[in-house]
Structures are given as structure tokens and as C-alpha cells.
Amino acid sequence: MNEYANTSSPVTGVRKAVVPVAGLGTRFLPATKAIPKELLPVVDRPAIQYVVEEAARAGLDDLLLITGRGKDAIEDHFDAAPYLEERLAADGKDALLAEVQHATEVAEVHAVRQGNPKGLGHAVLRAREHVGDEPFAVLLGDDLIDADEPLLERMLEVQRTRSATVVALLEVPEDRAHLYGVAAVEPTEEADVVTITGLVEKPPAGTAPSNLAVIGRYVLRPEIFDVLEQTEPGRGGEIQLTDALQTLASDASIAGPVLGVVYTGRRFDTGDKLEYLKTVVTLASERDDLGPAFNAWLAERAQQ
Ligand code: G1P
């Protein structure tokens, strides 16, 4: 018997998504001095809205933001705005009205504060009361996943059929591995699914166990909460979700296997300045309304 209570939840459909948003966004200062980084626009909607829409598309319509000081505007974004809506309706701006109302309707958004943020593991632990004894998803706001190549749906399917903890993995170049959690893996009978045998948070250059990096999508079982309670601060002095997952991966008697779904679609990183710019340009160039004019300008500019 291991030290963790095995609550072995019944296999229910996952309904809840947890989205940590308490980070300070220091990489985007001074833009993020008074505005949460999650509200920086990616074309014409805040980055966080893409993530919430991704969760809703996968059937997760109960969303918990793990928030913090200075982040109230994120909740406002998903709340009704009666005065604005009345004005848009009165002015006949129906398309804009629909966009504004869509943010309210896309999911039921709850929030809990992280208080003194002590890392991603600590943020996830703050979801315990809201989540209860069910499997749940965690989506990190910096990672945007191509809507045309769904990832979360596949992870939920793997969770349901294998009753496992499921982590999204992406092949990255060796010289980028130190920026991520990195997994040691073994193949399974399914081509896109691997068994995770170990995980390291941000391994020093040259020590990564593979080129498979954790990207910000997880489907977790509720046993993770007990493990997080007992996880000591790790890299950067923070309670790392990766370390709790490593505990699960090293002892399947706690909560079954930890599996990785290897994603081959496009993942956009909005947490890094250069990658953020590339994301905005790529998504704008693919939009039906903006793309033609924007691409023509881009082509012209590339020749200068
Ligand atoms: C977090 C996780 C890391 C993961 C990354 C994905 O790191 O701790 O394991 O690879 O997200 O974006 P962060 O980027 O918040 O430092």
C-alpha cells in the first residue's frame, strides 16, 4: 500500500478544465504592467479566449481560472457587459454584439485565487475543492493548439479508455528541450500514445531523456491532489506539476499509468515574444477576412 489514498474515481466523462492564470507575465513588460498577459490580443481576441474555446469544443464547459492579484479583467472578459451590449444592439452592430456575447456563453467560468503563487503544481492544487473526485483537464494559457488538429479530444479519449493520467507531448529540437518538462517514454500499441516512465522539469542542456517536451495540456486523475500536497518545491523553488507527475509515473499503484499523447499538429507559443509575433502573423494570415490583404502586404514587405 503506498502513502497516497487511492480514491480511484469512477470513470466519468471529464467536464472540468482548470486554467492557471496567476503568472506575472514579466516577459511582456511593460505591456503587462496593468493588463494580464492572458488578455494580450492574438489578432482580435485575447489569447485566453482561444484556450477557453478549445476546452469548450472538447466538451469541457466548466472552467476554473486559478487567478491572482491584478487579473480581474480576465473574469470581466468572460462576464456579461450589459451597457456595452445595449449600445452595440442600439447601433445595429450585430456582428460585434455576437462576438462580445460569445465570450460569455462559451463556458461557465469560475475563479479561485492562488494567493501567494508557488508554481504550477501549487496552482493546480488550488483547484481541489472545485474539481472534487473526478478526472479533469489542465490547459496552460501560453500554448495555443491549432483548432483544425484537435489534441484535447484525443487525450480525453485516451483517459477514458485507459483510465490513465494523460500528458500532451511534442517533439522539440534538442537545443529547446531545457525550456520544457521532458519525458522518458516507451511505445504502446497505439502509434500516437506512449507510456511515460519518467519526467524532468527543464533539464539542463544535454541531459534531456528524450526530445519529447510536455506542452500545456494535461488530463489528470484526482489522485494528483494528494501527490501535489506532498511534492516538495523543485526547479526554481516552485512546486512543479512535472514533479508530481514523475511520482505517478514511477509508481503505477498510485493512480495507474501516465501516458503521453504525441501531438503532430501546430502548437503556438504566446509566452515568448518572438513566438507570440509569429503566432499573430500566422493566425492573421489564415483569416478569411484579413488574410488576403495581410498576405499581400507581407509578400510586398518580404521583398524590401
Ligand atoms: C510549464 C511546465 C513545463 C511545460 C511548459 C509547457 O512551464 O512547467 O513542464 O513544458 O509549461 O508550456 P512554463 O512554461 O510555465 O515555465
The cell 477514458 sits on which residue? 160
Is the pLDDT at 5 greater than 70? The verdict is: no
Beta carbon of 242 within 6 Å of any ligand 1 atom? yes
Q: What is the pTM of this model?
A: 0.93
Is the pLDDT at 99 greater than 90? The verdict is: no
Mean pLDDT of 268-273: 93
Mean pLDDT of 69-80: 92
> What pLDDT is attached to residue 107?
82
Mutate to test the pocket of ligand 1, among 24, 114, 140, 241 (most ligand atoms within 8 A of CB): 140
Q: What Cα–Cα distance (Å) separates residue 81 from each residue in 99, 183, 272? A: 12, 43, 31
Nearest CA to ligand 1 atom 13: 180
User: DSSP H helical segments within the chain, as ranges?
Assistant: 47-57, 72-77, 82-90, 94-105, 120-125, 128-131, 152-162, 223-229, 241-250, 252-255, 273-285, 291-302
Is the pLDDT at 2 greater than 60? The verdict is: no
Which of the two residues, 9 and 118, has the higher pLDDT score? 118
Mean pLDDT of 201-212: 94
Q: Is 205 helix (H, G, I), strand (E, B) or coil?
A: coil
pLDDT digits (tens, 9 = 90+) for 115-144: 988 999 999 999 999 999 999 999 999 999
> What pLDDT is attached to residue 6?
43
pLDDT digits (tens, 9 = 90+) for 155-187: 999 999 999 999 999 999 999 999 999 999 999
> What pLDDT is attached to residue 103?
82
Write down all domains in the chain, each with its CATH number in brackets: 16-291 (3.90.550.10)
Residue 83 phi, psi dihedral angles, 5° rounding? -65, -50
- What is the number of the ligand 1 atom nearest to the C-alpha of 213? 10
Calculated CA dihedral for residues 123, 60, 70, 46, nearest 10 degrees: 130
Is the pLDDT at 62 greater than 80? The verdict is: yes
Residues whose CB is less than 8 angstroms from the CB of residue 71 and which lie 6 or more positions away in sequence, other chains included: 21, 22, 36, 38, 65
Residues whose CB is less than 8 angstroms from the CB of residue 199 and which lie 6 or more positions away in sequence, other chains included: 167, 181, 182, 183, 184, 214, 242, 243, 245, 246, 249, 258
Strands 136-139 and 212-220: antiparallel
Mean pLDDT of 209-230: 97
Instruction: Decide if 62 contacts 107 (C-beta within 8 A).
Output: yes
Mean pLDDT of 194-214: 95
Is the pLDDT at 8 greater than 70? The verdict is: no
For residue 66 the three cell numbers come to 486559478
Residue 91 CA, ligand 1 centroid: distance in Å = 44
Q: Would you place residue 10 in the very low, low, confident or very high pLDDT band (cuts 50, 70, 90)?
A: very low
Is the pLDDT at 12 greater than 80? The verdict is: no
> What pLDDT is attached to residue 4?
55
> What pLDDT is attached to residue 65?
97
Q: Is 124 helix (H, G, I), strand (E, B) or coil?
A: helix
Rounded mean pLDDT of the chain?
Answer: 92
Is the pLDDT at 3 greater than 80? The verdict is: no
Mean pLDDT of 1-16: 56
Which of the two residues, 23 and 195, has the higher pLDDT score? 195
Which of the two residues, 241 and 116, has the higher pLDDT score? 241
Nearest CA to ligand 1 atom 10: 180
Residue 36: name the closest of 44, 46, 110, 84 by CA: 46
Q: 192 - beta bridge partners?
A: none
